[in-house]
Structure 1
Amino acid sequence: MPQDPTSRRRASDGKLSFVENLGFGLGDMASNLFFQTFNIFLLYYYTDVFGIAPAVAGTMFLLVRFFDAANDPIMGVIADRTSTKWGKYRPYLLWMAIPYGICGYMIFANPDLGESGKVIYATVTYALMLMAYTAINVPYSSLMGVISPSSQARTLASTYRFVCAFGGGLLISLLVRPLVKELGGEDEVAGFQYTMAIFAGLSVLLFWTTFATTRERVKPPKGQVNDLGGELKELIRNKPWLILFVAAMFSTTFIIMRNTVTIHYFKYVAGNGDELFIWIFDKSTFFLSSSMFMMMLGVLCMGFVIRRFDKRFLSIVLTFTTAACLVAFYFIPAENYGLMLAVNALAAFTMGPTSALVWAMYGDVADYGEYTFGRRSTGLIHSATLFALKTGSMIAGTLAGWVLDWFGFVANEQQSESSLLGISLMFSILPAIFAVGKGIALVCYPLDRDKVTEIEEALAVRKANA
């Protein structure tokens, strides 16, 4: 469509201050203090600390995460219909922060129960935590779509978000095992309790900081009528969203599957001794921490690269590079720790920016929905995206527990050749398959830079005329 200087200026407005970008990013650090703990340690905690059989844990992940995934669109609809002096989405960061912290801590409270009681307790507390996570993270994710009308500004905010997210993951991977050992001594149960109490309190403060430092600037079109049936139909007809849905599901599956068995891999396959380090880090802690650091570094470099390349193109190239690195791990000898660190550094460096790029695309998808259908359903779009993430999390957690059981894993025992093979496959080939699936989905994504600019300008003119 014709472009004029006035519309171009309107489309480029909406830059955010450093304080607001950072404050927005700290919300994902709060999320990841628990989310990354679950990704990395929860299966290990349930099998090796709490004493639940891996097949039972896998089935619990399937049931609880399936139930939780269905809650996301409901929360999105609720958030879209919320109206307060603080906006639609920000109030939930204030209201739900304390329930979020309490529910996260309760998972690790570890009361003295029998075998059946432990399964029931784990199921109930995990379900409550995921409900609290949904109630605060659907609005938080939706905030990305209304924090600025500018796609470039949202991409920059996404960069801050994922630097902070991976910073939270770095804190988890770097500090959880040392803190558990330091605070609990030989009592690993007490160590997890004290450690997660610290992270619970910190997550509450971080969410409140995000609430205090951010604003909502993008409003629904004037006269917009809420129609759930119509919104759902428009969502299904939104081709860019459908493609990102698949990409997000595959992405979460391969990341969580690999993180879930990392502790198992170094405990049973590669050895987890700390003889290489003069500090308190064992091999798995150093591996996970270096991975999070390289993901942060990759996101920090994105600002330089994104000005020169299209988001879609970058995401495709980086995703297939990550997949190739994951395949390589199957062929690296278990004793060659240095080569593992090098290959993992490249995998993490290419993985980090794709997360930020894809999340920035969701704001473009919300713009596309308003541009195409005349209705903006930011909360529903982001909540349905979280549904994809929860689905991927469900697949990864379920497969991890079931595959461990299928290959004959027995906690805290010397593993059979079959069990070692199963752990190795989940650390390399299986996540690589899902990473390739993500790359194929992104190849089909239709919104390149020129199309996004055209949509921004059209919406700016439309709103100015209204």
Structure 2
Amino acid sequence: MKSFLGQPLNNTMDSQSNTLEPKSGREVPLKLNLGFSLGEIPDLIAYQGFSFLIFTFYSVVIGLPIDTVTIVFIIWSIFNAFNDPILGALSDRTRTKKFGGGRRRPWIISMIIPLPLVMVFLFTPIEGSDTVIAIYMAISMILFDTFYTTYSLNHTSLYPEMFRSDRAREEVGRSRRILMVVGLLVAFALPGIVITDLVGTDAITRRQYILCGAIFGVCILVTMLGHIKTGIRERPLEELQEQKTLSLLDSFKYTFKNKDFILIVMASTMNWYVFGILPMVLPIYASIQFDLSKNAFETTLLLVTVFLCSIPGVLFWSWLDKKIGSRQAFIVCMIFWAVSLIPLYFITEYVGAMIAMAFIGIGFGGGPYFIDRNISNVIDEDELRTHQRREASFFGVHAVFIRLATILIIICINIVFTSYNGWEEVDLVAVTPKQQLGLRLLMSIFPACALIIGVVFASLFSLNTEKVKEIQTRRNKALDDLELKE
């Protein structure tokens, strides 16, 4: 039975078939919950492993000038401004029997080989001049992002599509964020085990980076297979083919005209600025601030602390979500997270940094949870307007802004490195107090200010608890009315 929106009248996917299964109490079957949430692991290993290592690898290990690295990151981000929304709109329009059939599954399956392979190519630069290496870096980063976005965009789009009620989204949202920690641990702990010196410049360090990329690839392959096997449930192809779709141009127009979507995406961009800058700068920051240049494991242990503490953080923020709603809880989370970052400016001892990272982890546990929850609410409201589910179009545009956050990150790093006694090439020998100050700003004050800006955007977001309830009431009423007619 279909709704006036062209969607079946149920809430969660049946783990044994390709249909939707009505569940009393709107609970998601455990196998489906864990299978879907498993998809967070390859997502996080790929993107965070990339974010953690790519800047340090090319700027320190390979030795490209900071200005050259900055230009490559900007080119990569401009490419994403076109790549991501187009991939999203194409996914929404996909109806095929190939690669398992559906509109999201085929895209995900097609990335089983390319995404793991590109993790190796990222850290295997060819020999040559700075220009040749920079071109290789740009091409490999563009390929990485195309493959990663194809997977991540379609996986993320299934979240509001498969789990339609608030309770189902809360339940799966918690599982996603807990399993996300597994991916983060692999992404940030593995380099500290495989790579002896994250900022080394010898041939051994380069080979260790390649090995680390290969292990990343194997982990991505295995977890993707498990996710595809147990965690993807799409409606039958016949039902998908009956649904009308917007043209690419109309899809972009409706998406960009949605004021609430733009506001929550801007708040998300500020969060992604923090997600990106902390792991990108940490290897250099820790090497200088705590003299850890020869101890990669202790450097990654700082990030491991963040991720482990994000697990109780997720549980706390999901509880607060129930109490005060996704928008208000998101605001509280960003304020808490901003305050927790400030001590990194003052701390000079490793133990103090570990304690600070524990509190940062609690804040970190809320950001990704609330971003998807609030964007899902926007998608539900859009469905009432357009009578279509356009998850991938929204998440595709969201991905553009995430990449713009990367431009902001690399520009901030460039400003600090070139302003504080000219680090045109990163040199960890004889670092001046002024350069240490620049790193402390990048790790604390800059991200804290970004989160406060995020609070401003989230405060203007109109989908508060009352409005979200109204949207779900309208949708449920429409479904009930249609059921009575039939």
Aligned with 1:64 (options 63, 69, 76) = 76
Match of 2:211 in 1: 194
Match of 2:413 in 1: 400
Match of 1:376 in 2: 389
Q: How does 1:7-406 map to 2 (within 5 A)?
A: 14-85=26-97, 86-181=101-196, 187-213=204-230, 214-216=232-234, 224-272=244-292, 282-332=297-347, 334=348, 336-406=349-419
Q: Is residue 220–residue 376 contact of structure 1 (8 Å, CA) maintained in 2?
A: no
1:432 aligns with 2:448: yes
Instruction: Classify the secondary structure of the residue corresponding to 2:461.
Output: coil
1:13 and 1:381, CA in 2 relative to 1: closer, same or farther beyond 3 A?
Answer: farther
Q: Which amino acid aligns with 2:355?
A: A
Instruction: Classify the secondary structure of the residue corresponding to 2:323.
Output: coil
1:414 and 1:117, CA in 2 relative to 1: closer, same or farther beyond 3 A?
Answer: same
Structure 2 gaps, min length 5: 1-8, 12-21
Deviation at 1:263, TM superposition (A): 0.7
Match of 2:6 in 1: none
Q: Which amino acid aligns with 1:207?
A: M
Q: Is residue 271–residue 367 contact of structure 2 (8 Å, CA) maintained in 1?
A: no
1:458 aligns with 2:478: no
How far apart are the structure 1 equivalents of 2:249 and 2:52? Answer: 38
- Cα RMSD (Å): 2.7
Instruction: Classify the secondary structure of the residue corresponding to 2:234.
Output: coil
Instruction: Classify the secondary structure of the residue corresponding to 1:110.
Output: coil
How far apart are the structure 2 equivalents of 1:239 and 1:217? Answer: 30
Q: 26-35 or 368-377, which moves further after superposition?
A: 368-377
Residues 338-358 of structure 1: CA deviation (Å, up to 9, x unaligned): 222222211220221221122
1:403 and 1:38, CA in 2 relative to 1: closer, same or farther beyond 3 A?
Answer: farther
Q: Is residue 151–residue 363 contact of structure 1 (8 Å, CA) maintained in 2?
A: no
Q: Which amino acid aligns with 1:352?
A: G
Q: Is residue 176–residue 195 contact of structure 1 (8 Å, CA) maintained in 2?
A: yes
How far apart are the structure 2 equivalents of 1:451 and 1:78? Answer: 30
Q: Is residue 166–residue 292 contact of structure 1 (8 Å, CA) maintained in 2?
A: yes
Instruction: Report how many aligned residue pairs link the two structures.
Output: 453
Q: TM-score, normalising length from structure 2?
A: 0.86
How far apart are the structure 1 equivalents of 2:427 and 2:10? Answer: 61
Q: Which amino acid aligns with 1:156?
A: E
How far apart are the structure 1 equivalents of 2:210 and 2:282? Answer: 21
Deviation at 1:380, TM superposition (A): 0.4
Q: Is residue 93–residue 245 contact of structure 2 (8 Å, CA) maintained in 1?
A: no
How far apart are the structure 1 equivalents of 2:386 and 2:93? Answer: 18
1:25 and 1:394, CA in 2 relative to 1: closer, same or farther beyond 3 A?
Answer: farther
Residues 202-252 of structure 1: CA deviation (Å, up to 9, x unaligned): 102212222222213597796534233333332233222111110111111
Deviation at 1:400, TM superposition (A): 1.9
Determine what percentage of the aligned residue pairs are the same residue: 21
How far apart are the structure 2 equivalents of 1:370 and 1:220? Answer: 15
Q: 385-394 or 209-218, which moves further after superposition?
A: 209-218
Q: Which amino acid aligns with 1:364?
A: N
